[in-house]
Amino acid sequence: MICLLFSASSLFSASPVDTHGALKVSGNQIVGSKDNQPVQVAGMSLYWSVWGGERYYNADLVNWLVDDWNITLIRCAMAVEPRSTNGQQGYLADPEGQKSLLKKVIDAAIARGIYVIVDWHDHNANANVNQAKTFFAEMAQTYSSTPNIIWEIWNEPDNTGGSGDKGADTWNDIKSYANQVIPVIREHSSNLIIVGTPFWAQNVDEAADDPLSGTNIAYTLHFYAGSHGEKLRAKADAALGKGAALFITEFGLSIADGGNTDKTVYTNEGKAWLDWADQKGISWANWSIMDKDESSAALVPGALAAGNWNSGNISQSGQWIRERLKSRKVYDFDPIPEDTLKLPGRVEAEKFSSKSEGLQTETTSDAGGGENLGYTTPGSWAEYEIFVSRGGTYTASLRVATESEGGTVTLKINGASVGSWNVGNTGGWQEWTTTSVSSEFSLQSGPAALRVEWSGSGSSLVNLNWIEFQAVTSVVNHAGSLAGNRIRLLGKQPGSIVVELSADAEKVSLFSLSGSLLKSFKARPGKVKLPLGKGVHLLRIENRSGEYISVPVIGY
Ligand SMILES: [Ca+2]
Ligand SMILES: [Ca+2]
């Protein structure tokens, strides 16, 4: 009756970063500092953090790519230029804004235990050395002992602004830049540093012939499958042969312009490249998470910034890359951190985005501390920007206190009332009680507007500390095809259970009773041992069509 999977070798391991530790260069390979074994990580590059790409710089996006695309790596392509063109401001024009975007992604990557590339996304880094030094000094200090971080100091040297033929950025230009920026990073961080190579990060052989001094330095290899093939791989093989470690921080399944002109996806050529990278153990990030009308973009125009995509939101390139990523090793990613504005979960009353005049926050003496909303009068309101992580059926309840006759508190989501409570005197303005649970209502996944309204006849109504939204998960089959012994509980011991999954199981997720996602795993048929904390949890098994069943499991 209970379900889960188990295979003799546990499916479950630690997160990528917990497993391998900080990445480091050993000869021409990248290894984990924990085990000194070669590590190949793979994932997605975000688009430039301007021109619309910036909207994908958020934690929900990272969480979605971890849980739905199985990424172990994400790259932040932080725009350095433009200074300000049509209002688009890269780091040179708006350092604080760009750092703030970057940190959202970095912090989410750290929370889930994946690797993150901090990319100075610039074709002319040698013109901005001082700004690069300032930036990397600050970032390296902030993330000095963070194993997740990988530094990429010059995205793509190109054929402008350098000292070579017709302005080409030469290897000497790059070395000169690197020798100024790397020491700044090394003051605070010993993490992997990836250095760009000449000719749009293709002339890796030049770097291999004349490597930088210092340790833990790899070189960038970029390719676009529709334009580059065997010849560039031969060049990369030569560089490896000379002892250089390579990292594909960016590649596309398109031609070199990103697929802007021919709109074609070159999957056969892409497969040859990634098979080669697998064979050599070279890590990669695919260009790019963007919904632009070009064939390298992973998304189609209008795809949500927070993930939650269906197949119609993902481009041909994105679908192919996602399958490739999903076929890779699955780790036990760290859980999504609690977010008070994410449903299911608790919305703290003081986290409003706007409110009526007169309504005030005050320190609460309720369990858990924090603040509550007080000074409510008839007509008071507060609004919240919430995010529904999982669409489905929900209930809500309130944490309230009042010393007056009280009043009515109503919840609305996207304008529709989902619950209303008449709250009477609780014995004091800080004497807290939890209301009854509302009737069930359904919510679609994605962003939503929550509004709380107070009404009544008194001059002072009801203090509010928080609103709890619970997902209603019924212990029923959600699809006939899932009926039967799809999941079988085989054994239980403190801290874990052993289950057996049927062949069509694709994903196993463990939720807290309040509906928070604790862990999500790729399922494999057979016996599987799952870690399970004390208390009641909900286990959900999903098949390839997205049909699922949920069952309660109790850990002890
Ligand atoms: Ca240049
Ligand atoms: Ca509160």
Q: Give the percent of the chain with pLDDT over 90.
A: 72
* Structure confidence at residue 508 as a pLDDT band (50, 70, 90): confident
Query: In this structure, is residue 404 part of a structural domain?
Result: yes
Mean pLDDT of 466-488: 55
* Structure confidence at residue 483 as a pLDDT band (50, 70, 90): very low
> 174 and 54: one domain?
yes
Model pLDDT, residue 425: 97
Cis link prior to 337 (omega < 30° from 0)?
no
Query: Hey, is 77 helix, strand or coil?
Result: strand
Cα–Cα dist 450/468, whole Å = 12
Residue 408, C-beta contacts closer than 8 angstroms, at least 6 positions apart: 420, 421, 422, 423, 454, 455, 456
Query: Hey, is 302 helix, strand or coil?
Result: coil
Mean pLDDT of 465-493: 57
For 293-302, the pLDDT digits (tens) are 999 999 999 8
- Residue pair 151/121 in contact (Cβ under 8 Å)? The answer is no
Please state the φ and ψ torsions of residue 516, each to the nearest 5 degrees.
Answer: -75, 135
> 181 and 307: one domain?
yes
Mean pLDDT of 507-511: 82
Model pLDDT, residue 556: 66
Catalytic residue (one of 54, 206, 250, 542): 250
Model pLDDT, residue 121: 98
Whether residue 525 has pLDDT greater than 60: yes
CA 311 to centroid of ligand 1, rounded, Å = 38
Cα maximum dimension of the chain: 83
Place of tokens 């690197």: 178
> 463 and 425: one domain?
yes
Query: In this structure, is residue 28 part of a structural domain?
Result: no
Ligand nearest to the CA of 177: 1
Q: What ranges in 316-467 are assigned the alpha helix state H? A: 316-326
For 11-62, the pLDDT digits (tens) are 445 999 999 999 999 999 999 999 999 999 999 999 999 999 999 999 999 9
Ligand nearest to the CA of 169: 1
Q: Give the percent of the chain with pLDDT over 70.
A: 90
Cα–Cα dist 316/367, whole Å = 51
Query: In this structure, is residue 16 part of a structural domain?
Result: no
CA 102 to centroid of ligand 1, rounded, Å = 23
Query: In this structure, is residue 333 part of a structural domain?
Result: no
Ligand nearest to the CA of 468: 2
Mean pLDDT of 85-95: 87
For 365-400, the pLDDT digits (tens) are 998 889 999 999 999 999 998 887 776 789 999 999
Min mean pLDDT across 342-351, 403-412, 424-433, 531-540 is at 531-540
CA 437 to centroid of ligand 1, rounded, Å = 61
Q: At what angle do helices 95-112 and 129-142 cross, to 10 degrees?
A: 40
CA 80 to centroid of ligand 1, rounded, Å = 12
Model pLDDT, residue 2: 42
Model pLDDT, residue 219: 98
Model pLDDT, residue 522: 77
Model pLDDT, residue 487: 56
CATH number of the domain that residue 88 is part of: 3.20.20.80
Distances, alpha carbon 438 to alpha carbons 89, 319, 379, 396, 407, in Å: 46, 40, 22, 5, 17
- DSSP structural state of residue 223: E
165 CB neighbour count, 10 Å cutoff: 8
CA 21 to centroid of ligand 2, rounded, Å = 37
Model pLDDT, residue 7: 36
Model pLDDT, residue 4: 44
Min mean pLDDT across 15-19, 86-90, 92-96 is at 86-90
Query: In this structure, is residue 258 part of a structural domain?
Result: yes
CA 442 to centroid of ligand 2, rounded, Å = 25
> 208 and 89: one domain?
yes
| 156 in active site | yes
> 60 and 111: one domain?
yes
* Structure confidence at residue 475 as a pLDDT band (50, 70, 90): very low
Comparing C-alpha atoms, which of 282, 271, 341, 304 is closest to residue 68?
304
> 161 and 261: one domain?
yes
Whether residue 496 has pLDDT greater than 50: yes
Both tokens of 186, joined, read 């090394």
The residue from 443, 471, 499 where one domain ends is: 471
- Residue pair 455/469 in contact (Cβ under 8 Å)? The answer is no
Q: What is the mean pLDDT of the chain?
A: 89
Ligand nearest to the CA of 367: 2
Cis link prior to 95 (omega < 30° from 0)?
no
Mean pLDDT of 489-511: 72
Query: Whole-structure pTM over 0.75, yes or no?
Result: no
Model pLDDT, residue 481: 31
State the residue range of the domain holding 440: 342-471
CA 265 to centroid of ligand 2, rounded, Å = 50
Whether residue 67 has pLDDT greater than 60: yes
Is the pLDDT higher at 485 or at 168? 168
CA 88 to centroid of ligand 1, rounded, Å = 20
For 192-243, the pLDDT digits (tens) are 999 999 999 999 999 999 999 999 999 999 999 999 999 999 999 999 999 9
> 410 and 520: one domain?
no
For 399-450, the pLDDT digits (tens) are 999 999 999 999 999 999 999 999 999 999 999 999 999 999 988 767 789 9
Mean pLDDT of 337-341: 66
Query: Hey, is 455 helix, strand or coil?
Result: strand
Model pLDDT, residue 339: 60
Mean pLDDT of 284-306: 95
Cα–Cα dist 65/439, whole Å = 33
Ligand nearest to the CA of 201: 1
Mean pLDDT of 245-258: 97
Comparing C-alpha atoms, which of 531, 512, 475 is closest to residue 389?
512
Ligand nearest to the CA of 340: 2
CA 467 to centroid of ligand 2, rounded, Å = 9
> 426 and 446: one domain?
yes
> 97 and 187: one domain?
yes
CA pseudo-torsion sign 267, 54, 104, 158: positive
CA 252 to centroid of ligand 1, rounded, Å = 21
CA 387 to centroid of ligand 2, rounded, Å = 18
> 389 and 489: one domain?
no
| 362 in active site | no
Both tokens of 305, joined, read 């910034």
Comparing C-alpha atoms, which of 525, 488, 528, 491 is closest to residue 8?
528
Q: Residue 111: which H helix or E strand, with range?
A: helix 95-112
CA 367 to centroid of ligand 2, rounded, Å = 10
Ligand nearest to the CA of 174: 1
Beta bridge partners of 363: 371
Residue 327, C-beta contacts closer than 8 angstroms, at least 6 positions apart: none
Catalytic residue (one of 81, 156, 294, 468): 156
Min mean pLDDT across 132-136, 289-293, 501-505, 519-523 is at 501-505
- Residue pair 556/527 in contact (Cβ under 8 Å)? The answer is no
CA 93 to centroid of ligand 1, rounded, Å = 19
Query: In this structure, is residue 32 part of a structural domain?
Result: no
> 505 and 425: one domain?
no
